[in-house]
A and B are shown apart, each in its own frame.
Chain A
Amino acid sequence: MQRIGVFVCHCGTNIAATVDVKTVAETLGHEPGVVISQDYQYMCSESGQNLVKNAIKEHNLTGVVICSCSPRMHENTFRKAAAAAGLNPYLVEIANIREQCSWIHKDIATATEKAIILGRAAVAKVHLNAPLTAGESPVVKRALVIGGGIAGIQTALDIAEAGFDVDIVEKNPTIGGKMAQIDKTFPTLDCAACILTPKMVEASQNEHITIHSFSEVAEVKGFVGNFQVKIKKKARFVDETKCTGCGLCTEKCPMKKVPNEFNMGLDNRTAIYIPFAQAVPKVATIDPNYCMMLKNGKCGVCSKVCSVGAIDYKQQDRFIEEKYGAIVVATGFNPIKLDKYDEFAYNQCPDVVTSLELERLMNAAGPNGGTLLRPSDKTHPHTIVFVQCVGSRCDDSKGKPYCSKICCMYTAKHAMLIREKYPDTEVYVFYIDVRTPGKNFDEFYRRAVEQYNVHYIKGMVGKVTPKSDGKIDVQASDLLANEQLHINADMVVLAAAIEPDKTARPLATMLTTQMDTNDFFTEAHPKLRPVESATAGIFLSGACQGPKDIPETVAQASAAAAKAIGLLCKNSITCNPCVAHSDELMCNGCSSCEKVCPYGAITYIDKEFRMPDRTTKVRRVASVNPAVCQGCGACTVACPSGAMDLNGFSNSQIMAEVDAICK
């Protein structure tokens, strides 16, 4: 016979003002199996918890129902209290009479009736609760960071600092990411390279960090604490262990007309190349799309000039496999392509550039050695128009609905730097709003307006018309003056929206993590768990989770590292026992559950069964990995034969609740 205790919380007046808690306690006291039913002002307080603990001991309770707030709030509190009193914590049920009752109702009679029904359902469920024991799973003490931009580098450095091994997988030949392309950083205007490259070197020299550059994650198996990852090391046709980065091959390579992606295609590189002088690892890579030796077997110059014999034209992609306890995603962002925004004439005129292209045009290591010249005729521009929100905050299908967040600040930075260096240049900025929240951010923008006399005009550019004399007619509206403007400009700079890297979506599928409709990774909780994904052991760092500037990215990178370290510190992790399990005798091997499982927790195994006629038969049945299962219950609904069930939320328990509510 069950001996159930019911405890009704007033939550101050949160519940008691709308629900007659005395009546609830008294009514539920008459439910079958209930031996004690009490109410108390704050059940979660220490004395409230003691009330529960004492009742468990005194009445030798076999089940507890707490009528209080959402289980998300205090389920754990009461489970711990029960465990302290010697009751299995999974014999505690919460009836949510606050969020789902008192807060949403006004009428006391109705709310009281509903609270009784919710309590009754919980009592019906707890009758069927079974004691559950959480299992344990070992943790591999090594982390994987996917993406080697500033986010990935910072995360890796912090994890290494705590003494754990960490691998960075970077798809490009060098780590550094977007920050390596940036000239100055806001709001302090310090040089990006000066603060980034020491970190890149630190990462490469740290004994705990291994950098797999020019590599991609090909396959992810396993679960929190024990991921098995296959990494594709793409053929760079240069032996990384031999190449000294002397750069002689890049000087002698005869194929010199390859668009240089590091300089946003504004100049050319050779077919064998080192992306930039401070690249890490400083190793050459051959671009097979342009290398004449690889394309038609005629050349071989780099091989001849290489004094250490590092060139290997026969190199193939190879795969390595590693085990990791934690994975941090830091895949970053890209500016969107502007093909669909030709009202700004980006495809028609070389002097209409994106902001990232302007970064390179102004960078000392860029195509013009830091002198701002027009790409078309290499003359100094005297009138420059900046257009904000190109593709951001767009309600049509071609743009992004969100604010890209960084553009207002970098545009103010560009405008200021240009006015500082070339005071004879007029700078116009067209904006919808100027958004500069952040430490010292608005002051920075005010400085551009007040001190540097940048012309900020509220309104959008409607049409950019390049002319044969090299000038660019910019037609725009000034919303404050209610005027149509025509500006005869020399250059137009477009603040293109940023979007997650294209590799993010296939990666999310491999990791079984969630993304939003814009392909940004979704955090486990938007406020309280911002650097964890909903999948255990997968953490998020930087702009892959949403648009971010450098300070925010670094903060999040360190937070993700802290979370990963917290996991790696443990020898084993406690698993949630409320996981799915399959009744193998009922399972017909249809794979429905495997298809709906968002976490990859279900596999199929061939198992031998003894049949009633004493023969044996091998059948294909579902097998749930309890360490991976998150207990979402999707499989239990999908299972056509009713073989799948969820511990703590079994089909019979749910039905008992429904019956109690409908009684």
Chain B
Amino acid sequence: METFTYYPGCTLRTKAKDLDTYARISAEALGIVLAEPDDWQCCGGAYTTAKDEIATKLSAVRALNAAKELGRPLITVCSACHNVIKQTNYDISHDENMAAKVNNYLQLPEAYTGETTVYHYLEMLRDVVGFDNLKEKVTNPLTGRKIAAYYGCLLLRPAKALAMDDPENPAIMEDFIKAIGATPVIYAQRNECCGGYITLEDKAQAQKRSAAVMNSAADMGAEMIVTACPLCLYNLRKNSGSELPVYYFTELLAEALGLKEASNE
């Protein structure tokens, strides 16, 4: 059993409970212990690109430091949380000035300078469990289902900091889909933006963006879309006008591991 520090993030406690629940039960079945720290805070929601904007990044540092104190890598599952935490970690380890400012604010017993390794749940499946091992543990393969992976814009970018996969030609979610027995559908819009927060400001724009994604996937023959991002799921479901079902990847993982029915009982 391998233990990781698990950072769910606030959306997973409210709107995106499915993403969280299925992540936890699947990890357990795969022999991974996800240990949640006691006092995590919201990640801040979106990474602030202003160099001197430190305060909004502090909660991410607190999560990273909690993982460091526990001596374990940090696992995230929400695309936005992952983006914020991983970028903050990257900047702290590459920008001395920022690291100094952050530590001046936090006054931790020991300065945090980017020691924690951050995995997205998908990276954990690929690099810790291994997609080949996952395939063997699948009891209920989703054979014949044509599934389109939707990466969105946050999960892989900026590539240098996130270092998960090639943002223009990724494979990690498709490999995951293959591992759970289904057939991945490649479509061009899989790494484009869903509209994100603009749905609050300019709904028409979000509708246009999410429709483009859904239509591109449907056009290439997808029967469903999977994502790791609560906001993407919202936009694709509510704003796209498409009937194509959208799920969190963790839900399909749980289904393939034969855990979904059990959890619903």
CB distance from A650 to the nearest CB of B (A): 43
A468 touches B160 (CB 8 A): no
B169 touches A463 (CB 8 A): no
Whether, in the assembled complex, B168 has its beta carbon less than 8 Å from a beta carbon of chain A, the answer is yes
**A467 partner residues in chain B, CB cutoff 8 A:** 216, 219
Instruction: Across the interface, name the chain A residue whose C-beta is closest to B189.
Output: A465
**A379 partner residues in chain B, CB cutoff 8 A:** none
**A347 partner residues in chain B, CB cutoff 8 A:** 169
B221 touches A463 (CB 8 A): no
Assuming the contacts A465-B216, A466-B188, asked whether A342 and B169 have C-beta atoms less than 8 A apart, the reply is yes
B188 touches A468 (CB 8 A): no
Whether, in the assembled complex, A339 has its beta carbon less than 8 Å from a beta carbon of chain B, the answer is yes
Assuming the contacts A463-B188, A463-B192, asked whether A468 and B220 have C-beta atoms less than 8 A apart, the reply is yes
A340 touches B188 (CB 8 A): no
Instruction: Across the interface, name the chain B residue whose C-beta is closest to A472.
Output: B188
Assuming the contacts A345-B188, A464-B188, asked whether A339 and B219 have C-beta atoms less than 8 A apart, the reply is no
CB distance from B94 to the nearest CB of A (A): 14
Contact with B along A444-469 (1 / 0, CB 8 A): 00000000000000000001111110
**B188 partner residues in chain A, CB cutoff 8 A:** 345, 348, 463-466
In this complex, how many residues of chain A approach chain B with their Cβ under 8 Å: the count is 15
**B168 partner residues in chain A, CB cutoff 8 A:** 340-343
CB distance from A310 to the nearest CB of B (A): 44
Whether, in the assembled complex, B2 has its beta carbon less than 8 Å from a beta carbon of chain A, the answer is no
**A465 partner residues in chain B, CB cutoff 8 A:** 187-189, 216
Whether, in the assembled complex, A482 has its beta carbon less than 8 Å from a beta carbon of chain B, the answer is no
Assuming the contacts A345-B188, A348-B188, asked whether A340 and B169 have C-beta atoms less than 8 A apart, the reply is yes
**B169 partner residues in chain A, CB cutoff 8 A:** 339-342, 347
Contact with B along A471-487 (1 / 0, CB 8 A): 00000000000000000
**B166 partner residues in chain A, CB cutoff 8 A:** 339-340, 342
Whether, in the assembled complex, B78 has its beta carbon less than 8 Å from a beta carbon of chain A, the answer is no
Complex CA gap A347/B190 in Å reads 14
Whether, in the assembled complex, A296 has its beta carbon less than 8 Å from a beta carbon of chain B, the answer is no
B189 touches A397 (CB 8 A): no
Q: Which of A415-471 contact B (CB under 8 A)?
A: 463-468
Cβ-neighbour of B219 out of A340, A397, A468 (below 8 A): A468
Complex CA gap A606/B160 in Å reads 51
B221 touches A348 (CB 8 A): no
Q: Which of A333-368 contact B (CB under 8 A)?
A: 339-343, 345, 347-348
Instruction: Across the interface, name the chain B residue whose C-beta is closest to A339.
Output: B169
CB distance from B152 to the nearest CB of A (A): 14
**A466 partner residues in chain B, CB cutoff 8 A:** 188
CB distance from B190 to the nearest CB of A (A): 10
Whether, in the assembled complex, B122 has its beta carbon less than 8 Å from a beta carbon of chain A, the answer is no
Whether, in the assembled complex, B34 has its beta carbon less than 8 Å from a beta carbon of chain A, the answer is no
Contact with A along B192-217 (1 / 0, CB 8 A): 10000000000000000000000010
CB distance from B187 to the nearest CB of A (A): 8
Contact with A along B145-189 (1 / 0, CB 8 A): 000000000000000100000101100000000000000001111
- Give the most central of A397, A464, A468: most B CB within 10 Å: A468
Complex CA gap A483/B123 in Å reads 39
CB distance from A463 to the nearest CB of B (A): 7
Complex CA gap A463/B186 in Å reads 15
**B219 partner residues in chain A, CB cutoff 8 A:** 467-468
Complex CA gap A356/B119 in Å reads 40
A468 touches B221 (CB 8 A): yes
B160 touches A397 (CB 8 A): yes
Instruction: Across the interface, name the chain A residue whose C-beta is closest to B212.
Output: A465
**A468 partner residues in chain B, CB cutoff 8 A:** 219-221
Q: Which of B197-245 contact A (CB under 8 A)?
A: 216, 219-221
Q: A-side interface residues toward B, CB under 8 Å?
A: 339-343, 345, 347-348, 397, 463-468
Q: 4 shortest A-B CB distances, which residue pairs?
A: A342-B169, A465-B188, A342-B168, A468-B219
Q: B-side interface residues toward A, CB under 8 Å?
A: 160, 166, 168-169, 186-189, 192, 216, 219-221
A-B contact pairs, 5 of them (CB 8 A): A340-B168, A342-B168, A463-B188, A465-B187, A465-B189
